[in-house]
Amino acid sequence: MKLTTPSRTAWILCSGLLLLAAATCFADRLAANHPNDETTTKLVCGMVQKFHISQHPIDDQISGKLLDRFLKTLDPQKLYFTQPDIDELSKFKATLDDLVKAGNTQFAYDVWDMYLQRIEQQMEIAHKLIDTPHDFTVDESIEIDADKIAWAKTLDELNDRWRRRIKFELINARLDNEDFTSGKQKPKAIPGQPKAPTAPIDPQERLHKRYRMLQKAAKETEDADKLELYLSSLTHCFDPHSSYMSPQSQEEFQIAIALNLDGIGASLQSDEGFTIVREIVKPGAASEDGRLKAGDKILAVGQETGEMVDIMEMKLNKVVRMIRGKRGTKVRLQVKKGDSGEVVLYELTRKKIELTNAEVKGEILETDKRLPGRPGRIGVINIPSFYRDFQAFQDGVENAKSTARDVQAVLQKFQQQGGVDAVVVDLRTNGGGALSEAIDVSGLFIDKGPIVQVKEQNGRIKSHDDDIDGTVYNGPLVVICNKLSASASEIFAAVIKDYQRGIIVGDTTTHGKGTVQNVMPVTSGMFLNRTDRGALKLTIQQFYRVNGDSTQKDGVKSDIVLPSLIDKMDLGESSLDNALEFDRIPPASHASADMVNDKMISALRDRSDRRVTAEPKFQEIRKDIERYLDRKNRKSISLIESVLKAERNQDKKEQDETDKDDPSTRGSDAPIFPVDAYNDEVLQISLDYATLLRNPQAAQK
């Protein structure tokens, strides 16, 4: 069980005839179908109606949502389809439910073909606009809120939308070059490329390349990906976290939750049609062999026998699938060395690769080194996700990958190193993972008792408990969350809060994802049915805190809120389409750890507020927040170059602040708790909390 973010000159000249012809052809083609999709689609529809927590049928209401959702997925910025296209496609608004239940997905492929035509036509216009002179002093703007932008009624309106878009991108490219030549922006090494850029890139050239690659990627989209988009558009009509995964996507999901794969241990990226080694993963087959390096270009891939396959301009996911394979087997790579340009042939033996960069990490911080005059030892544990290798557990593998096991090992290491005054668990940007791991990690900090309550489709309430006596750590505990802490993270934070076991610090509240997804293979249930039809990640339950509250939409509120730009962004569950509603159930009986009370929280908050008010860095963050809120509701961006330059500089500053809280933006060798005003204030709060626990009377002074 998982918890678990364009030229149409001919078209406009005779639009009536073409629309009529297209409609006739479109309707006729719906009688056909992709035969391999029929059974898969029928099974998905049956599973959604049977197992989704809402128990809502696939009916005309869902049909209308499916059309809107699929079109929004394909053309979110409304840059390709026009209102006449939407009017024509809307004729199927009440019939798509009947088609998908019958296993007919031809509508998806026909719409995709239309989409490719629109891309080709608008790309012709885009390339002309890139080479057209623009006046960057004209007072005009570009609309930015796609949800409030109507579909273009005419080709002229659509082309003007593209003119503004190209102008906006050209200004940004010009400003990039201006920063580069002025020395304000030093060249940065791009991961996987042998050198940093040494000269500005021509803005026109950059945009031509971008749109050629966009068109190429759309043309190379496989049928499995098209089906995944369509069926996921269907499941998203029920809630934002249910989705259909093709066999390839299912494999990626399993890798993410288990933190291991079979391959050579090389992270790849695509650039100008080349497949480039971005990073060598340690430990792994490539790192042990030592010959393949970051920056090398892979030209061809072959298995142990047979011909080498040229992979130039091949989609990256195809290349990855060719290189991955069963451990113990061999793969051959034709490589152009990034440093010398020499072309060589390597043969590597695939092995199990552990993705250690995404696992739990911990360290003890001596606080007087960062906070002069405040000695102490704070153990920091960063949990990027709640991962679990389900297959390894099922097979009885010793030391199978598990978040709870790794957290326990870190806590025991803290004890072996002389103990700590407090522990900080960092859950910022942790999007969730395995429910079982959230329960087991919670059990490391509390004694026996309920962890989370779950409501199933039939309304029955079940409690998931920690049944193990005792704790691994029973001292002061601080949990850091932000608006991107979701699902399993919220279960853990809620347990700590409801048991009065520790304090929650961070954004006003967490993400607000209070639903449980189960990943089920798409199958008829027959033992002999071995066709790989992918999997369905389906919301089958809603979970509740032990106090009876759902975390859905409301999340878990922090005891102490620190200024943060992320806190003001529309990133929570309540901002997602078709999110389920908040509700309550009766609380579960549980004992309190009595390590937090209102007076203590009030005292900690007062002390933190005084420090935050006096800290210049937090004053800057608050000014950034004010500017962000002033601009948050704007509907357009100026296309005057001087105005855009000033706004872009401010946006960059705000993004830099946001990235500090996002572990994905840090290098693999970066400290898990970097020195900055936010993290230092968390350490201050932790020391205050440890002091108050030792001397509760101090909270009243």
Catalytic residue, chosen from 232, 402, 442, 487, is 487
Question: Edge-to-edge strands of the sheet including 422-426?
Answer: 361-366, 377-382, 422-426, 477-481, 503-506, 560-561
d(CA 456, CA 516): 10
Query: Measured at the alpha carbon of residue 685, what is the angle toward residues 427 and 495, in degrees to the nearest 5?
Result: 45
Placement of tokens 């608008």 in the chain: 122
Record the tokens describing residue 614, joined without a space: 């006096």
Record the tokens describing residue 157, joined without a space: 């309106």
516 within 8 A of 454, measured Cβ to Cβ: yes
d(CA 379, CA 386): 19
Placement of tokens 């996987």 in the chain: 192
Residue 524 falls in the annotated catalytic set: no
For residue 381, the cross-strand partners are 362, 425
d(CA 217, CA 318): 12
Placement of tokens 């750590």 in the chain: 473
Residue 440 falls in the annotated catalytic set: no
Question: What SS3 class is residue 571?
Answer: coil
d(CA 488, CA 675): 27
The burial of 257, by beta-carbon neighbours within 10 Å (0-12 exposed, 13-18 middle, 19 or more buried), is given as: buried
Catalytic residue, chosen from 37, 75, 85, 498, is 498
Q: What is the CA radius of gyration of the chain?
A: 27
Residue 630 identity:
D
Residue 262 falls in the annotated catalytic set: no
Query: Measured at the alpha carbon of residue 121, what is the angle toward residues 116 and 124, in degrees to the nearest 5?
Result: 125
Record the tokens describing residue 283, joined without a space: 């430990």
Question: What SS3 class is residue 316?
Answer: helix
- Output the CA–CA distances (angstroms, integers) from residue 187 to 180, 269, 483, 656, in the order listed: 7, 20, 32, 17
d(CA 324, CA 333): 12
- Output the CA–CA distances (angstroms, integers) from residue 182 to 149, 200, 535, 631, in the order listed: 37, 11, 52, 28
Question: What SS3 class is residue 279?
Answer: strand
d(CA 49, CA 38): 17
Catalytic residue, chosen from 483, 513, 537, 553, is 513
d(CA 670, CA 327): 30
Q: Which residues belong to the active site?
A: 487, 498, 513
